[in-house]
Amino acid sequence: MDKKKLLLSLPAVDEIVKSKVGIEWLRKYPRVYVIRAIREIIQRKRKTILGGKYEMDDPSDLLQEIERIIEKLSGFNLQPVINATGVVIHTNLGRSVLSEEIMKRVSMIAGGYSNLEYDIDKGERGKRYSHVQGLLREITGAEDGIIVNNNAAAVFISLTALAKGREVIVSRGELVEIGGSFRIPDVMASSGAILKEVGTTNKTHAYDYERAVTDNTALMLKVHQSNFRMIGFTEALSIEEMAALGKKYSVPVMFDLGSGCLIDLKPYGIHIEPTVQEMIKAGADIVTFSGDKLLGGPQAGVIVGKRELIEKIAKNPLMRAVRVDKMTLAAFEATLRYYLDEGVAKERIPTVSMLLQDPEKIKEKAKKIARMLKAGLGVDGAQTAGINVIEDVSQSGGGALAEVPLRTFVVSVMPSAISINELEVRLRLGRPHVIARIRDAALLLDARTVKTEEIGPLVQAVRAAMN
């Protein structure tokens, strides 16, 4: 057939839209995507015809191609994934997971009107932050507390409210970069505070801080070295020592703690960072931390400390720009409530319970996954032989937790028919999306971060990917 005839044989956009399938699509998908997909496929066909490479295909193939594009265009971008990496606080996979109970609170508050900024007792305007103030005081022992959008915002607004145009003393060993674009010197510069660095990379002494204090000193800042460690010939001031200096010179001491650990995890072999309570007790005037790292709540930044300072921060005009919404407040209040009883927090907050999971329980889950996988793969000995449960270490999380190896159990999969990289890609692109680790010649599925109800879908996804 000549090109002209072939071109004429292509259906018109309108023709497809008005056909039975077209009408069906319009019922299911947004019109813009239906039209765009039809145009795209027809255009593609036209190009191949003009390039002389066209082969007549079945009209139903054409429609299938169009439907694939429509589905791709109209699908959700933000998708759930199964986290089989074993990294509990995985920033790229959404950090902390909220429990079903908490999601119920969120949906109740977000799906209706609430007393977000209304004082029910008095029948007048109320304060957004009052809903978590009491809990923050109770749990951390601080005089007062507020929450903002994330810890970066907490550090930023504290600096701008307490130290704009004045000096903030920081040890050279603590001018850290947390990842993404959070770097202490840059945050300091944009807050309007003046960075006064003291000491050296590895050692900073009390006299370094003392020599730097002037009439223009607004704060002494300590920053937790979340994602790196210094070993060897090092020295830094403890928060107690800094608080003593702060008292001596009447300069408030602020600590950017990072994770916001509210439970002492040392008995579990997790020596990451001191708890917020310990730091308040040790004399920090302001402590900032994330809501969705170790605390296990929604994305938020928490500022606790001396009432007078918190009030000053709360009054800053930028507070409006970093304020949290009702969904965050609902989730955060519900998460904090668990901390009123440590046992409850350990059990009901997914981040905490996944971190403290008994390795034997993880082993059971891994064995179940392996057993179900083997059963599904039937009698193919080569495939089932490549599936084993092995002991390993999982990294609990990025940032502060990157350094904490935890004993875990993984299902190691060595596919016989496809390469290990191909298996990883298929799992990642499949439904549900599965994110796994590759090590040497095996794909590892860490059972620590796989929920019990995800085992079935995970097994099906792996089976589908291996065939």
Ligand X SMILES: *Cc1c(COP(=O)(O)O)cnc(C)c1O
Residues making contact with ligand X (CB under 6 A): 150-152, 155, 178, 182, 223-224, 226, 256, 258, 290, 301, 399-400
CA distance 456 to 467: 17
Residue 224 or 437: the one with the smaller Cβ distance to ligand X is: 224
- Minimum distance from residue 151 beta carbon to ligand X (Å): 3
Nearer to ligand X, 300 or 461 (CB): 300
Min separation Cβ 142 and ligand X, Å: 18
Report in angstroms how near the CB of residue 443 gets to ligand X at its nearest: 29
The distance of closest approach from Cβ of residue 258 to ligand X in the complex, given in angstroms and rounded to an integer, is: 3
DSSP codes joined into one string, 68-87:
HHHHHHHS-SS--EEE-S--
274 DSSP assignment? -
Q: Between β-strands 118-119 and 253-258, what pairing exists: parallel, antiparallel or unpaired?
A: unpaired
* Minimum CB distance to ligand X, residue 178 (Å): 4
> For the packed helices 100-110 and 326-338, what is the interaxial angle rounded to 10 degrees?
140
What does each C-alpha distance from 368 to 118, 386, 411, 424, 445 come to in angstroms?
Answer: 50, 16, 10, 21, 12
256 or 446, CB closer to ligand X? 256
Q: Give, to the nearest 10 degrees, the angle between helix 59-74 and helix 20-28.
A: 10
Residue nearest to ligand X (CB): 258
Say if CB 74 and CB 274 are below 8 A apart.
Answer: no
Task: Identify which of residues 86 and 301 has a Cβ nearer to ligand X in the complex.
Answer: 301
CB of 270 to ligand X, least distance (A): 15
Closer to ligand X by Cβ: residue 236 or 455: 236
Q: Report yes or no: 294 and 272 within 8 Å, Cβ to Cβ.
A: yes
Q: Burial letters for 408-430: b for 16+ Cβ neighbours within 10 Å, e otherwise? A: bbbbbbbbeeeebeebbebbeee
Other Cβ atoms less than 10 A from the Cβ of 248: the count is: 12
Q: In terms of C-beta distances under 8 Å and separation of at least 24 residues, what long-range contacts does 36-40 make, across chains too? A: 36/69, 36/73, 37/66, 37/67, 37/69, 37/70, 37/73, 38/13, 38/66, 39/13, 40/69
* Contact status, residue 376 vs residue 463, Cβ threshold 8 Å: yes
Nearer to ligand X, 330 or 400 (CB): 400
Complex with ligand X: residue 33 or 182, whichever CB lies closer? 182
d(CA 242, CA 247): 9
Q: Which long-range contacts (CB under 8 A, 24 or more apart) does 422-427 make?
A: 423/465, 423/466, 426/464, 426/465, 427/461, 427/462, 427/465
Cβ at position 17, least distance to ligand X in Å: 47
| Shorter beta-carbon distance to ligand X: residue 139 or 155 | 155
Q: Please, are residues 226 and 396 in contact by the beta-carbon 8 Å criterion? A: no
In sequence order, which residues have a C-beta less than 8 Å from that of residue 431 and are 6 or more positions away?
A: 461
Q: Please say which residue, 73 or 322, places its beta carbon nearer to ligand X.
A: 322
Strand ranges (E), 54-191:
81-83, 118-119, 124-125, 144-148, 167-171, 177-179, 182-183
Instruction: Work out how close the CB of 218 gets to ligand X at its nearest, in angstroms, rounded to a whole number.
Output: 19
- Environment class of 434 (CB within 10 Å of its CB; exposed 0-12, middle 13-18, buried 19+): buried
Q: Which is nearer to ligand X, 64 or 91 (CB)?
A: 91
Closest CA to 3 of 42, 41, 54: 54
Q: Which is nearer to ligand X, 151 or 191 (CB)?
A: 151
- Nearest approach in angstroms of CB 188 to ligand X is 12
Angstrom distance (rounded) from CA 90 to CA 444: 16
- Least separation in angstroms between CB 228 and ligand X: 11
Q: How far is the CB of 161 from ligand X (least distance, A)?
A: 17
Compute the least distance from the CB of residue 296 to ligand X, in Å.
13
Q: Would you say 319 or 455 has its CB closer to ligand X?
A: 319
